[in-house]
Amino acid sequence: MRRLVKFFASFGTAALLFLSKIAFAQESGHEVHAEPWETGFQPAASPIAHQAHDFWHLLLILCIGICVLVLVLLGIVILKFRAKANPTPSKVTHNTLIEVIWTIVPVIILLVIFIPSMRLLYSADRVEDADLTIKAIGNQWYWEYEYPDQGFSFLSNMVADQDLKPGQPRLLTTDEQVVVPVGANVRLLTTSNDVIHSWAVPSFYVKMDAVPGRLNETWFRAEDVGTYYGQCSELCGIRHGFMPIEVKVVSRQEFNDWVRRMQQEYGALDGDQTVKLASAEIEAR
């Protein structure tokens, strides 16, 4: 009995330490990327990411509850029905009430998981009222980005170690950033020119495969100004680990200034194609 109590105490301590590490990892920051020895999610920076984190916490609670229940029942069986305490074995073969319970309760648990899961999948599918469209094209081993509404495209390569500036994260910094306005609904289209890649930014809860000959769609809405990092998340060849993604979230004015600069450098459509989002509309989101 004493050993069983020590086991549960150790299990509870480990669970609390794990949860505290997760909470610490989710503190917000201006530059968000994976940290050494990080065990939790990166800070959520989009509505879908918040939903995903809430769903994961629900699953964690359910899993811990089920594990604790099974361990308690196992401990009871070990202690109560051991040979010394129960020299005459029971000959009970079934119990209708218990069988009904262990059929109905798992069904309820599955429904509790199913409903928010489908809601999350549906929400992450696509956005109806996109303010901006970006097309990410995977190549071995770099990304090409198109801003079709603004009329320009550019290549984004990883910055080599010897070219990094102080403070820039290794293997994550790019020579050209994806820039989006804060609070804008960004439609993301992905495809590839060679093999399957995957465009993934954990803080936005975005991970969409880029498949040759196919156009996939997802979306995100960055809630805070800052720089968010991701990487190609589909094994695509020898330099798979050198296809970083760097997304810079800026104000609307900064974004429009950046668009004009990129249009001058890479070509532009006729007229002013900068994104104009109503402040009241963004604040209402």
Q: What is the pLDDT of residues 146-202, one digit of tens each?
A: 999 898 999 999 999 999 999 889 999 999 999 999 999 999 999 999 999 999 999
Domain locations along the chain: 2-25+34-125, 132-272
- Which residues, in sequence order, are bridge partners of residue 142? 139
Q: Strands 226-232, 31-32: parallel, antiparallel or unpaired by DSSP?
A: parallel
Contact between 189 and 217 under an 8 Å Cβ cutoff? The reply is: yes
pLDDT in tens, the chain (285 residues): 455 445 444 545 444 444 444 443 444 447 777 778 878 888 888 999 999 999 999 999 999 999 999 999 999 888 888 888 778 877 778 888 989 998 999 999 999 999 999 999 888 887 878 899 999 999 999 999 999 989 899 999 999 999 999 988 999 999 999 999 999 999 999 999 999 999 999 999 999 999 999 999 999 999 999 999 999 999 999 999 999 999 999 999 999 999 999 988 876 544 444 444 444 444 445
Task: Say how far apart CA 121 and CA 23 lie, in whole Å.
Answer: 24
**Token duo for residue 169:** 């994260």
Task: Say how far apart CA 137 and CA 126 lie, in whole Å.
Answer: 18
In terms of Cα–Cα distance, which of 148, 130, 226, 147 is closest to 186? 130
pTM for the model stands at 0.75
Class of domain 2-25+34-125 (CATH, top level): mainly alpha
Task: Say how far apart CA 159 and CA 9 lie, in whole Å.
Answer: 48
Q: Which fold has domain 132-272?
A: Immunoglobulin-like (2.60.40)
Give residue 150's identity as a one-letter amino acid code. Answer: Q
